[in-house]
Structure 1
């Protein structure tokens, strides 16, 4: 009997706007991936070696599985730090930080800045509000500077139109 695959269409979802620019952090993503792998390896080693330890405690198979599961959860939680992204396009700016997305139209955006002694840039909004942009990080150096310049350039282009 042949296998039939059904494709679901997202009819209710709004179409994605075209983006002129997208930026993600570089060093933070690389570091998070390395830390996630190290955590996973350490917890797998600890979990598999629990029965061989002579600590006087009787570890069972479920304890080993739980230890490995904790390592998987720790690694996945660390990988949340790879999510930040900023997209810029004709409809506005979308900022995705660790847990959520926020979309702002150009009528609400006043600019971008990099405050002194801060680790990341921020999107300046109307009414003296701001949103941190974890995707534009100070430790990325020239990459962050180029990203802010490009965001400012596109902001000037779309607010003038």
Structure 2
């Protein structure tokens, strides 16, 4: 059997590079699973793609889900807000349940009720 040159040689460095690219792409895909929201009587911790912050309920004016918005948000003083990427409109009933639970925890913490 005669072997002919195809012009493609995969050396060890090529194979290691392919593994590295695969790991990089996997890490990128997993990065989108990072968002989380945790709430208790003291406040709410929001972890989005780039970092986590804790807000005491006294700083949160409202927990809202504006019409047409892709995710919920915490309304803060001075017209500021923080997106809550963990609660997304595309999740349908799960998002509704999460918003009800977040508002319940806030209400039980002794903060005024909100609309939105």
Q: By the TM > 0.5 criterion, same fold?
A: yes
Aligned length: 108
Give TM-score scaled by structure 2 length. 0.83
Look up the match of 2:75.
124
Look up the match of 1:59.
10
Q: How does 1:36-75 map to 2 (within 5 A)?
A: 56-75=7-26
The CA distance in 1 between the partners of 2:6 and 2:101, in whole Å, is: 58
The CA distance in 1 between the partners of 2:51 and 2:45, in whole Å, is: 10
Q: Secondary structure at the match of 2:107?
A: helix
The CA distance in 2 between the partners of 1:87 and 1:138, in whole Å, is: 18
Could you tell me which runs of 5 or more consecutive residues in structure 1 were left unpaired when the two chains were aligned.
1-53
Give TM-score scaled by structure 1 length. 0.62
Tell me the C-alpha RMSD between the 2 structures: 1.8
Q: Secondary structure at the match of 1:59?
A: coil
Higher strand share: 2
How far apart are residue 160 of structure 1 and its match?
4.2
CA contact (8 A) 2:73 2:81 kept: yes
Look up the match of 1:51.
none
Could you tell me which runs of 5 or more consecutive residues in structure 2 were left unpaired when the two chains were aligned.
none
CA contact (8 A) 2:58 2:111 kept: no
Q: How does 1:1-161 map to 2 (within 5 A)?
A: 56-160=7-111
The CA distance in 1 between the partners of 2:67 and 2:10, in whole Å, is: 51
Higher helix share: 1
